[in-house]
Amino acid sequence: MTYLTLAHLEKSFGQNHVVKDFNLTVEKGEFISLLGPSGCGKTTVLRMIAGFEAPSSGAITIEGQDVTGLRTSARNIGMMFQAYALFPNLTVAENVGFGLKVGGVAKAERAARVTEILEMIGLPELGGRYPFQLSGGQQQRVALARALAPRPRVLLLDEPLSALDAKVRVALRNEIRSIQQELGITTIFVTHDQEEALSVSDRIVVMNAGVADQVGTPFEIYNRPATRFAAGFVGTLNLIAAKVIDPKTGTVALAGMNLQVQGTAQRAAGSDVTLALRPEGLRLGRGDGEGAVFRANVASVQFMGSTIRIEVMAAGQKLTLDTFNRADQPPPRPGDEVEISLSGNNAIVLD
Amino acid sequence: MTRFLAWLALIFGCVFFILPLVGMGEFSLKMRRGVYSFDAYRKVFEDPTFWATFGYSLVLAAATIVVGVLLVVPTAYWVRLRLPKARPYVEFVTLLPLVIPAIVVVFGYIRLFNTSSILPLTGTAFGTDFLLTMGYTTLALPYMYRSVDTGLRTIDVATLTEAAQSLGAGWLTILARIILPNVMVAVLSGAFLTLAIVMGEFTMAALLNRPAFGPYMQLLGANRAYEPPALAVIAFAITWGCMGLMQLVTRLAKHERAKA
Ligand SMILES: Nc1ncnc2c1ncn2[C@@H]1O[C@H](COP(=O)(O)OP(=O)(O)O)[C@@H](O)[C@H]1O
Ligand SMILES: [Mg+2]
């Protein structure tokens, strides 16, 4: 059952067309990330759902109710901002209870709910503190509690982690995800950080210049990017020029070798395509002998712990590949001649 | 050498400001021949007109503060939130009372609201008090607006407003529970300035013929020798008391909610 629908949303600020024909349907309890570079309109989409901006055209529906023209305070949404935005004159408990108080919840019930939710975010003893007495991570937790306390229909998060330092960021994003799953609350999360989006989302919307480029699970977005933009924005990618030999069988030619790939059915024989390969789709060594094998010259080696990132020069271009670390097998050194192989199954065909 | 000059300048400044006060204070104690006494102060405090006019002005000051806060806080908030481009114009308007003499304002009032006008406010004591309060609000506007606007600058008005809206709050709740408490220190400093202005104001009260403290001081000054300086010392004490309160409130509030 569709819970939240965005239909043909458009938004212009004067001449600036910021959001273009944005469509999305969200299931109840789903965690959706809007992922894209800064300025692509993520915040604007979120603010339209919240009711802070009115769409130039299009409709927003929550639980079957058209909320497009409804004012924010009547939408029953929860929102978390990058800048925390706790009320400085209220204590933590008063901040968390604010939405309940405004909603006319009786004092005793309010206190119980505040205690419950402060426990959920792991700060049960901080109810009496003022926001300025908390660290950034604690403030953002309180902001989460405040947004969740009135049991909103949708939780909206606008880059809530970007002001925090790396360790807190990872811890808090996992916590947001687990609380979200525990409560089963429908969530829209805005971020420009692909790792963040990949790690917590049920589905990701990759946005580019106001357009939803691709909507899919993290697995799909990463392994089957639909556009060159989505492919390039999420993760590292090797791009190799190739020519279609036989669209039916998926045979392409690259650097004098033939390779079987998927996704050439719509293309004409002889047309130029680009093969995109993740670093982990390239292998050091001959492998099982299938696919294409290149002679390569190692340019650099980065030891990253469980994986090793190797940059090589092959077929006249720079390629990046990742291999797992093995204690019994030292990595190659820069300058070494190696063989690398690639399988057509890992290649994504782009224009 | 520069230190010496700095001290010299400081001492000169202090003497320049304090000497007249000391002279005035000393003179106010000389009512009884040959010895220092508080006779002049007793005379002032024994005068029922002093208490009546003082109380009257105090009540009007309170009314002025309430009207000023109700007028200025929502206006300054709205200008910051939705009309940032209008800020220079609004500031210009709030500064007008500094350049338009009170006497011009009060003549305008009398012409517009006299007993033969459509709205004969000057016909009744209450109506005149109302007019006077409005006049005082105008006089205090530059100070009130500036303090409140400065207070609003220290908080993220737009985001706090949106956070409150997302939690279901309407405009009245946002103003009363979020905005006003966060600019309370600024509002209070504006309020104390208003109090000081209203307690000393002469022109408007005199021309509207109301029994305020300003005209009383004037009257006393014209007819007595020793009481006026005593009154001036009392007025100074009140003003300085206000300043002290302002400092105290600022410090207490900082302790309570330093801005994150
Ligand atoms: N209130 C506004 N008035 C004018 N332009 C705006 C406004 N809000 C956003 N924009 C413009 O819309 C574009 C998208 O902004 P935004 O949605 O904040 O992007 P993102 O969150 O993806 O970084 C930007 O070019 C920005 O300048
Ligand atoms: Mg943004």
Domain spans of chain B, in order of start: 56-259
| CB under 5 Å of ion ligand 2: residues | A 43
CA dist B12 and B47 (Å) reads 38
Element (H, E) at A146: helix A136-148
CA dist A34 and A280 (Å) reads 25
Q: Compute the distance from residue A39 Cα to the ligand 1 centre, in Å.
A: 6
State the smallest CA–CA distance between residue B91 and chain A in angstroms. 27
Please report the pLDDT score of residue A286 as a whole number: 79
Name which of A40-54, A58-72, A275-289, B147-161 the model is least confident about.
A275-289
What would the two tokens of residue B212 be? 């305020």
At which residue do the structure tokens 């009007």 appear? B60
Please report the pLDDT score of residue A284 as a whole number: 84
Q: What is the pLDDT of residues B34-54, one digit of tens each?
A: 888 888 888 888 889 889 999
Residue type (1 letter), A192? H
Judging by DSSP bridges, how do beta strands A65-66 and A77-80 pair with one another?
A: unpaired
pLDDT tier, B258 (very low <50, low <70, confident <90, very high otherwise): low
Phi, psi of A316 (to 5 degrees): 80, 10
Please report the pLDDT score of residue B209 as a whole number: 87
Q: How far apart are the first and last CA of chain B?
A: 43
pLDDT tier, B31 (very low <50, low <70, confident <90, very high otherwise): confident
Judging by DSSP bridges, how do beta strands A251-254 and A77-80 pair with one another?
A: unpaired
State the smallest CA–CA distance between residue B147 and chain A in angstroms. 18
Please report the pLDDT score of residue A59 as a whole number: 93
Contact (CB, 8 A) for A206 and A213: yes
Taking contacts as CB-CB distances below 8 angstroms, the residues of chain B near A77 are: 166
**Is the pLDDT confidence value at B239 over 90?**
no
What would the two tokens of residue A310 be? 């190797």
pLDDT tier, B175 (very low <50, low <70, confident <90, very high otherwise): very high
Quote ipTM for the complex.
0.85
Which chain A residue is nearest to residue B160, measuring alpha carbons?
A85
pLDDT tier, B260 (very low <50, low <70, confident <90, very high otherwise): very low
Report which of residues B114 and A29 the model is more confident about. Answer: A29
**Is the pLDDT confidence value at A75 over 50?**
yes
pLDDT above 90 coverage of chain A, percent: 55
From residue B34, alpha-carbon distances to A247, B20, B29, B37 in Å are 121, 21, 10, 10
Judge: A83–B162 Cβ closer than 8 Å, yes or no.
no
pLDDT tier, B249 (very low <50, low <70, confident <90, very high otherwise): confident
Q: What is the pTM of this model?
A: 0.84
pLDDT, mean of residues A245-253: 81
Judging by DSSP bridges, how do beta strands A307-314 and A317-324 pair with one another?
A: antiparallel
HSE of A203 in the Cβ direction (CA atoms, 13 Å)?
Answer: 17
Q: Compute the distance from residue A80 Cα to the ligand 2 centre, in Å.
A: 12
At which residue do the structure tokens 């000169």 appear? B12
The DSSP-derived string for chain B is: -HHHHHHHHHHHHHHHHHHHHHHHHHHHT--STTS--SHHHHHHHH-HHHHHHHHHHHHHHHHHHHHHHHHHHHHHHHHHHH-GGGHHHHHHHHHHHHHS-HHHHHHHHHHHHSTTSSS-GGGSHHHHHHHHHHHHHHHHHHHHHHHHHHHHHTS-HHHHHHHHHHTT--HHHIIIIIIHHHTHHHHHHHHHHHHHHHHH--HHHHHTT---HHHHHHHHHHH-SSHHHHHHHHHHHHHHHHHHHHHHHHHHHHHH----
Smallest Cβ–Cβ distance between B168 and the set A50, A99, A156 belongs to A99
Contact (CB, 8 A) for A198 and A221: yes
CA dist A24 and A39 (Å) reads 19
pLDDT above 70 coverage of chain A, percent: 99
pLDDT tier, A218 (very low <50, low <70, confident <90, very high otherwise): very high
What would the two tokens of residue B151 be? 């207070």
**Is the pLDDT confidence value at A21 over 60?**
yes
Number of CB pairs, chain A paired with chain B, less than 8 A apart: 80
Q: How many CB atoms sit inside 10 A of residue B97's CB?
A: 18
Q: Which ligand is nearest to the CA of A162?
A: 2
Q: What is the pLDDT of residues A164-205, one digit of tens each?
A: 888 899 999 999 999 999 999 999 999 999 899 999 999 999
- Which residue of A52, A62, A67, A72 is the best one to mutate when testing the B interface, meaning the one whose CB has the most B CBs within 10 A? A72
Look at residues B255, B85, B83, B80 and name the one whose alpha carbon lies nearest to residue B152: B80
Please report the pLDDT score of residue B28 as a whole number: 86
Rounded mean pLDDT of chain B? 88
Q: Compute the distance from residue A311 Cα to the ligand 1 centre, in Å.
A: 37
HSE of B221 in the Cβ direction (CA atoms, 13 Å)?
Answer: 12
Please report the pLDDT score of residue B124 as a whole number: 86
Judge: B163–A99 Cβ closer than 8 Å, yes or no.
no
Q: Which residues does residue B167 pair with via DSSP β-bridges, in sequence order?
A: none
CA dist A260 and A343 (Å) reads 8
Q: Ligand 1: residues within 6 Å at CB? A: A 13, 16, 18, 36, 38-44
The DSSP-derived string for A27-43 is: ETT-EEEEE--TTSSHH
Q: What is the pLDDT of residues A307-333, one digit of tens each?
A: 889 999 887 788 898 888 888 888 888
Name which of A290-294, B1-5, B95-99 the model is least confident about.
A290-294
pLDDT, mean of residues A30-37: 94
pLDDT, mean of residues B169-194: 90
**Second-level CATH architecture of B56-259:** Orthogonal Bundle (1.10)
Please report the pLDDT score of residue B30 as a whole number: 83
Q: Compute the distance from residue A7 Cα to the ligand 2 centre, in Å.
A: 21
pLDDT, mean of residues A121-125: 90
At which residue do the structure tokens 């400085």 appear? A88
Burial level of B202, CB count in 10 A (0-12/13-18/19+)? middle
Q: Phi-psi region for residue B68, left (φ > 0), alpha (ψ -120 to 50) or beta?
A: alpha
pLDDT, mean of residues B241-250: 78
Look at residues B164, B55, B93, B203 and name the one whose alpha carbon lies nearest to residue A86: B164
Judge: B162–A85 Cβ closer than 8 Å, yes or no.
yes
Q: What is the pLDDT of residues B123-166, one digit of tens each?
A: 888 989 999 999 999 999 999 999 999 999 999 999 999 999 99
Rounded mean pLDDT of chain A? 89
Name which of A41-45, A228-232, B70-74 the model is least confident about.
A228-232
Please report the pLDDT score of residue B259 as a whole number: 46
Q: How many residues does this entry show for chain B?
A: 260
What would the two tokens of residue A85 be? 């935005």
Smallest Cβ–Cβ distance between B258 and the set A51, A132, A156 belongs to A132
Taking contacts as CB-CB distances below 8 angstroms, the residues of chain A near B160 are: 85, 87
Q: Which residues does residue A240 pair with via DSSP β-bridges, in sequence order?
A: A275
